[in-house]
Structure 1
Amino acid sequence: MTAAETTTGAATAAATAADAAADGTARKEQRPRLGGEFGKLWTAATASAIGDGMSLTAAPLLAGRLTDDPRLIGGVTVALTVPYVLFGLPAGVLADRVDLRRAMVRIDFFRAALVALLACCVLFGRGQLPVLYLCLFLIGSCETFFRNAAQVLLPSVLREEALVDGNGRLMAAQTAGSEFLGPLVGAALFGLGAALPFGLDALTFLVSAVLLSRLRTSPAAPDPAAGAAPRPSLLADMATGARWLWNHRLLRSLAGLAAVVNLVSTGGLAVLVVHAHRVLGLGDFGYGVLLACQAAGAVLAAKVAPELARRAGREWALVATAAMLVLGNALIWLVPSAWAVATALALDACAGVTWNVVVVVLRQTVIPTGLQGRVNSVYRLVAWGAMPVGAALAGTVAASAGTPPVYGLGAAVMAAVGVRMLYGVRTRWISGTGAAA
C-alpha cells in the first residue's frame, strides 16, 4: 500500500473539508440536518432493501429444494453477482450521461415486473433452477447500474458536510432491511408459500419507484473539462475512468483490498444455507434468523464506525474490519453452533459497514464530480468482480470437503489482509496523503 506521490489542491481541500466536517459532527449542535429529500431517498432505499432481503433469503432456500449440490446452490450467488463483471464499466459511464433519478425509477419498475414474474413462475410450479438463475442475473444487471447511480446521486441530495452521517444512516437502514427484517419475513413467508417473498419484493420495488419519482436533487456542478467538445465514445469514457483510478494509488489499493474482502465474504454467504442445514441442523426459518443476526452488527457499526474513524483514524478503522472478518470466519470454521455463526455474521456485517463508512465517503469526496460514475464503475468492477469468483470457489470447496473449510480458508486470507493493513497504518497510507491523486 503506497501513498500517492502527488496531490491536487482541489482533492486535498475536499479531503480536508470532509475531515473538518466529520470532526464537527462530534458535537450535537453542529450535526448537519439531512432534510426531507434525503428522507425520501432513505425510505425508498429501506423499502427496497427489505424486499431484497426477502428475495435473497428465499432464492437459496428455493435452490436448496431443487438440488442438494452446493455448487448449484452457490450458482444463485454467481448468477446475481456476475453482471457486476460484465456490465460494471458501461453502467458507470451511463451514470455520468443520463438523468440518474429517472433511470433509477425505470429500473425499479422493471425489477418490480421481473420479480412479480418470478413469483408467478414459482406459484405455478415453473420456478426451476434455470428460471431462478435467469431472473437473478437480470436483477443483478439492474443492480449494477442502480447501486452505482445511487452512490453518485447522494451528493446531489446532501451537502458535503452531511455525507458521513447520511452514508451511515443510509447503510444502517439498508443493512437492517436486507439483513434483519427481510430475512426474517422472507424465511417466514417462504414457509407459507415459496412465491410469497418474491411477490412482496415486487411491491417494495414499486414503493421505491414512486418515492424516487418525487425526489428533488440539486443540479450537478458543471464539469470544467466538458466544454463544447463532442462527447467521447463509451469505450473512451471507460478508459478515462480506468486511467484515473489506476493513477490514484490510494483508491487503487483500496479496490484491490475490497476485491479480496468480497471474495471471502461472498463465498461464505454463498454456502451458508448448506452450512445451516447440514452442519447446524437448522430449518428454513432458522437460516433466516441467522441472516437476520447480521443487522445487529450493522446497526452497531452505523453508530460506532464514524466515531471510530474520527478518533482512531481511517487506517485503524480498516484494520478493525479485517480483524472482525478473521474472527467471524474462524468462529464458523471452528465452532459448529448456531450462536457462534450468529455472532460471526454480526461481526461480518459490522466490518462491512465500517469499511463502507470510510471508503465510500472517501470516494465521494476525492473523485471529481464529472468522473464519479466512470471511476466508481471501474472500482466496482475490481471490488465486486471477485464476488462470483468467491461464490464459485466456495461451492466447489464445499462440494468436495464440506462447508467448514470454506470459512477456515476465509480466516487465513483475511489474516493476510490484516497484516497488509497494519503496514498501511505504519505508513499512514490514507491520512498521510489526504486525497492524494
Structure 2
Amino acid sequence: MNMVATLATASGRHRLLSRDFSRLWAAAAVSSIGDGVTIAAGPLLAAQLTDDPRLIGGVSVAFTAPFVLFGIPAGLLVDRLDIRAAMMRVDFVRAGLLAVLALGITGGWGGLPLLYVCMFLLGVGEVFYRNASQVLVPFITPEPGLSTANARVMAAQEAGTGFVGPLVGALLFGVAVALPFGLDAATFLCSALLISRMRGSRPPAERRDTAGVLPEMLAGAKWLWRHHLLRSLALLSCTINLAGSAMLAVLVVHSEEVLDLSPFGYGVMLSCQAVGAVLASRIAPVLTGRLGREGALVATAALIASSEAVLATVPSAYAAGSALALFACGTVTWNVVVVVLRQTLVPRHLLGRANSVYRLIAWGGLPVGAAAGGFVAAEAGTPAVFGVGAVVMAVIAVVLLRGARRQWITRATQADADGSVPASPVPTASER
C-alpha cells in the first residue's frame, strides 16, 4: 500500500511539470554535456601546456572567480530583464567564446592566457545563466513539484558535466585538442534554440522595481543577511564548496601522478559522478520526506566527507570513481534541499537578487578552494588536499547533526511563516 502511494505521488509530481519545464530541462541537459566536455578538456589542455599544479588549478580559479565578482550584479539583471531572452543571449555569447578558443588552439595561439580569459568569461555567463534558470523554475512549476523539478534539472546538469561530457571531452581531446571546445560551442547553440521555444516566463508586473540601481542591489543582500536560516546555509555552502573545489582542481594531477590514468581514463573517472547525481535525483525528494530537511543535509555532509577520505587514503582508480559518485550524490541532494528553500522563502520580486547574494557567499569558496588546492598539492601532494577536505566535511556533519536535533530548519521556516523572528538556526556554543 505504501508503495502504491509512493508511485501515485511520484506520478502526480510528474504531471505538475509543464512543457516549458521540459524545454528548460532539455536545454540544461544539452548545455551541461558541453560543460562536461570543457571541464574535462580544459585541465587536460592546461596540463599539456604546463606541469605546475598551481597553473593547472588556475583554470578552475579563472572559471569560478566571476561567482564572487559578478554575483550581485547578475542577480539585479535577472530581476530586471526578460529571463528567457537573456538566457538565449548568454548562450550565444558562450558559443562565440568557445569558437574563438577552438580557433586559437588550431592556429597555434591558444595558450594558457587565452584559456584563462575564455574560462573567466564563461564563468561570467554561468553566474547569470544558473541564477536565471533557478529563478525561472518556480514561475513555470507549481510549488508541490519544485523538489522534483529541481532534482531533475540538477541531475541533468550533473549527468552532462559528470558523465557524458567528460567521456566525450577526453575522447575528442585525444583526437584533436580543439575539437572538445568546438563541440561545447555547438551545445550552447542547441540550448539557445530550446529556450527560444519556451512560452512561459516571469509575469511582466514582477520584472522591474522603481528604485535606483544601488538600492535595488542592496535590497537582496539586506533581506538575505537578515534571514538567519538562509544566511547560515550560505555560509555552510561556502565551506563545502571550498573543500570540493580544492578537490576537483587537483584531480587531474592526482589521476596522472597517483592513479597513472590516461586522459581518457581521467574522463571515465570524472564520469562516475553521474552515477551519484542520477541516484540523487531519484532519492533526494524521498530522502527529504523520510529524514526531513535537517536529516538530509546531515547525510549529504557525511557522504562528501566519506568521498574525500577515500580519495585521500586509497590510491585506486576504482575507489576514486566510487568516491566521486558519493561526492556527486551528496552535493546534488544538498542543492535540492537549499534551492527549494530559497525558491519558497524568498519574496518573488527579490528572488534574483537574494539568489545572487546567496551564490556570492556560497560560491565564494570556489576560487579560494581551487587556488588553495593547487598550492597544497604542490607542497604536500594531492592526498593532503583530500585529507583536509575530509576533516572539514566531518566537522560540518557534526555541526549539522547537532542542529538537526533541534529541528533548526523546521523551526526557522515555521517562524518565517508566522512572521516572527526565527531563533538562531545553528547550534550555540554551549550545545556544541
1:357 pairs, out of 311, 325, 336, with 336
1:377 shift after superposition = 0.7
Distance in 2 (CA, whole Å) between partners of 1:59 and 1:31 is 38
Counterpart of 1:389, as a letter, is V
Alignment of 1:114-133 (within 5 A): 114-133=97-116
Tell me the residue number matched to 1:388.
367
Report the 3-state secondary structure (helix = DSSP H, G, I; strand = E; otherwise coil) of the residue aligned with 2:301.
Answer: helix
Tell me the residue number matched to 1:71.
54
> Are the structure 2 counterparts of residues 344 and 68 from structure 1 closer, same or farther at C-alpha, using a change threshold of 3 Å?
same
> Are the structure 2 counterparts of residues 88 and 28 from structure 1 closer, same or farther at C-alpha, using a change threshold of 3 Å?
closer
Distance in 1 (CA, whole Å) between partners of 2:189 and 2:195 is 10
Counterpart of 1:147, as a letter, is R
Distance in 2 (CA, whole Å) between partners of 1:65 and 1:391 is 19
1:31 pairs, out of 1, 4, 13, with 13
2:320 pairs, out of 341, 359, 371, with 341
1:182 shift after superposition = 0.2
Tell me the residue number matched to 1:179.
162
Alignment of 1:26-425 (within 5 A): 27-33=9-15, 34-220=17-203, 222=205, 231-425=210-404
Do the aligned residues in 1 keep the contact of 2:299 with 2:330 (CA within 8 Å)? Answer: yes
Question: Highest relative contact order (Cα 8 Å, sep 6+), 1 or 2?
Answer: 1
1:426 shift after superposition = 1.3
1:434 shift after superposition = 2.2
Distance in 2 (CA, whole Å) between partners of 1:343 and 1:435 is 38
Do the aligned residues in 2 keep the contact of 1:324 with 1:351 (CA within 8 Å)? Answer: yes
Tell me the residue number matched to 1:12.
none
Distance in 2 (CA, whole Å) between partners of 1:85 and 1:160 is 30
> Are the structure 2 counterparts of residues 374 and 25 from structure 1 closer, same or farther at C-alpha, using a change threshold of 3 Å?
farther
Report the 3-state secondary structure (helix = DSSP H, G, I; strand = E; otherwise coil) of the residue aligned with 1:68.
Answer: coil
> Are the structure 2 counterparts of residues 29 and 211 from structure 1 closer, same or farther at C-alpha, using a change threshold of 3 Å?
closer
Distance in 2 (CA, whole Å) between partners of 1:270 and 1:29 is 40
Counterpart of 2:240, as a letter, is V
1:397 shift after superposition = 0.3
Report the 3-state secondary structure (helix = DSSP H, G, I; strand = E; otherwise coil) of the residue aligned with 1:96.
Answer: helix
Tell me the residue number matched to 1:430.
409
Tell me the residue number matched to 1:16.
none
Do the aligned residues in 1 keep the contact of 2:83 with 2:202 (CA within 8 Å)? Answer: no
Report the 3-state secondary structure (helix = DSSP H, G, I; strand = E; otherwise coil) of the residue aligned with 1:431.
Answer: helix
Counterpart of 2:183, as a letter, is L
Distance in 2 (CA, whole Å) between partners of 1:30 and 1:393 is 46
1:391 shift after superposition = 0.3
Per-residue Cα deviation, 1:145-189 (whole angstroms, up to 9, x for no partner): 111111101112212221111111111111111110000000000
Distance in 2 (CA, whole Å) between partners of 1:167 and 1:242 is 24
1:424 shift after superposition = 1.0
Per-residue Cα deviation, 1:15-55 (whole angstroms, up to 9, x for no partner): xxxxxxxx988624533411221111111111100000001
1:237 shift after superposition = 1.5
Distance in 1 (CA, whole Å) between partners of 2:374 and 2:343 is 35
The size of the alignment, in residue pairs, is: 411
Tell me the residue number matched to 1:19.
none
> Are the structure 2 counterparts of residues 323 and 26 from structure 1 closer, same or farther at C-alpha, using a change threshold of 3 Å?
farther
Do the aligned residues in 2 keep the contact of 1:330 with 1:407 (CA within 8 Å)? Answer: yes
Q: Structure 2: which 5+ residue stretches go unaligned?
A: 417-432
Distance in 2 (CA, whole Å) between partners of 1:351 and 1:370 is 31
Per-residue Cα deviation, 1:389-416 (whole angstroms, up to 9, x for no partner): 0000000000111111000000011111
1:260 shift after superposition = 0.4
> Are the structure 2 counterparts of residues 211 and 35 from structure 1 closer, same or farther at C-alpha, using a change threshold of 3 Å?
same
After the TM superposition, which segments of 4 or more aligned residues of structure 1 sit over 6 Å from their partners?
23-26
Distance in 2 (CA, whole Å) between partners of 1:73 and 1:98 is 36
TM-score by length of 2: 0.92
Per-residue Cα deviation, 1:108-160 (whole angstroms, up to 9, x for no partner): 01111110110111112111000000000000011111111111011122122
Report the 3-state secondary structure (helix = DSSP H, G, I; strand = E; otherwise coil) of the residue aligned with 1:432.
Answer: helix
Do the aligned residues in 2 keep the contact of 1:331 with 1:340 (CA within 8 Å)? Answer: yes
Q: Structure 1: which 5+ residue stretches go unaligned?
A: 1-22
TM-score by length of 1: 0.91
Counterpart of 1:431, as a letter, is T
Distance in 2 (CA, whole Å) between partners of 1:105 and 1:29 is 31
Report the 3-state secondary structure (helix = DSSP H, G, I; strand = E; otherwise coil) of the residue aligned with 1:281.
Answer: coil
Do the aligned residues in 2 keep the contact of 1:25 with 1:32 (CA within 8 Å)? Answer: no
Counterpart of 2:83, as a letter, is L
